[in-house]
Structure formats: C-alpha cells, structure tokens
Amino acid sequence: MKTIDDINFKNKKALIRVDFNVPLDDEFKVTDTNRIEAAKPTIIKVLEDGGSAILMSHLGRPKGQRNPDFSLRHIVDKVSEIIGVQVKFVDDCVGESVEKAATELKSGEVLMLENLRFHAGEEKGDKDFAEQLSRLGDIYVNDAFGTAHRAHASTTIVAQFFPEHKCFGYLLAKEIEAIEKVMRTGEKPVLAILGGAKVSSKITIIENILDKVNHLIIGGGMTYTFVKAQGGQVGDSICEDDKMDLALDILKQAKEKGVEVHIPVDVVAANDFSNDAEIKVLPVDEIPDGWQGLDAGPETLKQFKEVILKSKTILWNGPIGVFEMENFAKGTIALGNYIDEATKNGAFSLVGGGDSVAAVKQFGFENKVSYVSTGGGAMLESLEGKTLPGIAAIIE
C-alpha cells in the first residue's frame, strides 16, 4: 500500500482529493470541523517536505450547476485557520485560470479549487474532466475515504493519469488499516455489534463478517425481526416481517460457523414513540400490543458488557436504542462505556456508520475508542467485502 510516507514532495505539487463536505449553518459557517482536521496531517506532510498542495473536494449536491450556496469559498478561512497556512482560492476547478493558479503556486503554499460538483463530469466519472484535473499536479493523493466508494472523476478516474505518482493520504491509509484489523488481522476474539433499524440494510455486512468474527451482538430495531422469527411477541416494535426467514437463516449460518450471536433478552418498552411515553422493562419476546421496544434492557446490558470486555477487536456499527431521545439513550451510552473500558484494556475498537458515529460524538466517546471512521457509505461497503473504486485506483 503506497502511502504519502513513501514520497518526498520537495518542489512537487500534490493534487489532494480531500473530503471537505462539511456542514454549514445559515451564515455559511462550518459547524463541524472534523473532516478538515482529519486531512491536516496529509497537507502538512506535503508542505514540510517543501512541496505545495492543491486541494479538491465537493460540497453538498449542486447537481452539476454553479450554486453559490455550495461554494467552497465559504470554508477557506476555516481551512486556513486549522492548517495554519493562508489558503488561496480559485473560483473553478478546471480551465485556464485554474491551471495558471496551480502553475504559480510556490512551495509551502496551498490552493483550494472550487466545488468539483459544479461540473457534471465529476459525478459521471468523465475522463476528459479527470484529465483536466490531472494537469494541475505532479502527484495524486487520495485522502477522501468518505467518497472512496464512488467512481467519480476526482476519486478514481484521475488516478489513471498518475500511473507512477499516486498514493494514499494518512487518513485514507488509517481507514484501510482499521477495516483490515476488523476483517483480517485483528486479535481474537473479534466482536461485531450491529444496531440500527433494519435487517435489510445490514444483510450483506452480516453475511460477509460471519467468517471473520467470533461474536455478533444484534441490537436496535433489528432485534425484533430476529425475536419474532423465533416465535416471540414484539408488540408494535419495528419489524420486517418479510425478512424473518432471512433472520433465521443468519442464525443458522452463524451456528454452522461457530459464531455466538447475542440478542437482547429484555427491553425498555414504551406505549408511544415519544420521550414522554410511559415506560416498562419487558422480556424481549413478551411485548404486548400497543407497546414497542426502544432500548436495550438492564439484563441485556449486563450480558453485552461481558461479551465486550472479553473481546480483543470490536466493530460497532449502529446504536442499540433510539438514542436521540434521552429516555432511550441509556443502552447506547452504556455500550460506549463498555467499549471504552475494553479499549483501555488493550482492545482495538472501530466505530463506523452514520448513526453510531453520531452517537459517539453526541456522548463524548470520540477519543475513547481506537478509531472513528469518517465515511458512512464507504465504511459499510468495505464491511460488505466490496473493493472501493477510490482505493482500487491507487493500488492498481
């Protein structure tokens, strides 16, 4: 795996694909700087070598149209502040004015291009558009894990024009290593915790990881499909009746492969999907009509804790309750605390996938786990065993 550490950028221009698709408020101020901070080490390495950096990214979904609301101009000051260098900006990403700005860039300087998605060629993976981008730099660096599952011009196609001069940035390399640890090289026992609402969205992940894990915790809304499939009563809990056969098949496969599956035994149930609802702790398979399970119960958490603390490699994908409501967040918070404890005891813990990352940030576990993935869709596709086009393009 060729990374940025294998290259000296002295007097070279690094064309770096970053993921600066960051949230902005009504005044176009950045409200979450994580992705910018994550790209900083790669940019600094290029500058400290004596090179210059040309940053390209998308922002939002302008659908091939110039829309000032999605201009990367809004984030230039914040990027400058975080990396400690005044970033230059050019109001397009291809064309004569851009090539001139790139040519004039001196060692130690940083140039940010305008939103790639102002051009339809970006999302279409257009080769001519990618070739125009390639003219701007000497070395191509992909550091955008969040878009590595898209075969877009700037994430995949452009790499063709740098056959000998392309590499992963630090962030993308760390993402690949973290997933490798869970899927291949991690110390056993390996535990996967899969939460979230639907079995259907996790089928391919479950099927792919059954060969790699020793324990599988199933939580969140998925629980009730598994419980009902085994003859339990789940009341009004979220349940995919058409996936019950699949749930039974997953349990059968797990048994054949020697994987221990852990499903909640009790739940915090409510008589309405509301933080103000009446609450009861009930056995998971005895939820009456009019009630729905919204969080893991105390006995379940005791059992989950035991599994987590004996695991050496932990993947956490998806919350185990409706953590957005305070009364149903306790299970997810407890899980975070157990993973924190396991990590302190030497386990490797990877958190990935939109909702679990949101929970980790909300409850302050970001620095208590080994690694928090920056890519939702890309992370899930990696766990499904797919080779991401943005990664393949560098390795080829």
Q: List residues with catalytic annotation.
A: 35, 198, 354, 377
Retrieve residue 305's tokens: 């804790």
324 annotated as ligand-binding? yes
118 annotated as ligand-binding? no
74 annotated as ligand-binding? no
Half-sphere exposure for 338 (CA within 13 Å, toward CB): 24
353 annotated as ligand-binding? yes
331 annotated as ligand-binding? no
| Identity of residue 240 | E
Half-sphere exposure for 42 (CA within 13 Å, toward CB): 29
Cα–Cα distance measured from residue 64 to residue 69, given in angstroms and rounded to the nearest whole number: 13
Cα–chain-centroid distance for residue 236?
Answer: 31
290 annotated as ligand-binding? no
Q: Give the Cα-Cα-Cα angle 115, 120, 125 (nearest 5 degrees).
A: 100
Q: Parallel, antiparallel, or unpaired: how do β-strands 215-218 and 233-234 relate? A: unpaired
Cα–Cα distance measured from residue 42 to residue 172, given in angstroms and rounded to the nearest whole number: 10
Name the strands in the sheet holding 110-113, side by side, starting at the edge strand that comes first in the sequence.
Answer: 88-90, 110-113, 52-56, 13-17, 139-142, 166-168
CB 334 within 8 A of CB 173: no
Cα–Cα distance measured from residue 321 to residue 80, given in angstroms and rounded to the nearest whole number: 39
232 annotated as ligand-binding? no
66 annotated as ligand-binding? no
104 annotated as ligand-binding? no
| Identity of residue 335 | L
Q: How many residues does the chain have?
A: 396
202 annotated as ligand-binding? yes
Of the candidates 326, 364, 395, 334, which has an alpha carbon nearest to the alpha carbon of residue 148? 395
174 annotated as ligand-binding? no
Cα–Cα distance measured from residue 360 to residue 349, given in angstroms and rounded to the nearest whole number: 12
CB 328 within 8 A of CB 321: yes
Tell me how far CA of residue 364 lies from CA of 60, 245, 333, 338, 388, in angstroms.
26, 38, 10, 14, 30
60 annotated as ligand-binding? yes
Locate all alpha helices (DSSP H) within 263-350, ordered by sequence.
Answer: 298-309, 330-344
Which letter does DSSP use for residue 3 in this model?
B
355 annotated as ligand-binding? yes
Q: Widest CA span of the chain, in angstroms?
A: 71
220 annotated as ligand-binding? no
Retrieve residue 290's tokens: 């009019």
5 annotated as ligand-binding? no
CB 243 within 8 A of CB 288: no
Tell me how far CA of residue 354 lies from CA of 104, 238, 367, in angstroms.
40, 20, 17
150 annotated as ligand-binding? yes
Going by the annotation, the residues of the binding site for substrate are 19-21, 35, 58-61, 117, 150
Going by the annotation, the residues of the binding site for (2R)-3-phosphoglycerate are 35, 117, 150
Going by the annotation, the residues of the binding site are 19-21, 35, 58-61, 117, 150, 202, 293, 324, 353-356
Going by the annotation, the residues of the binding site for ATP are 202, 293, 324, 353-356
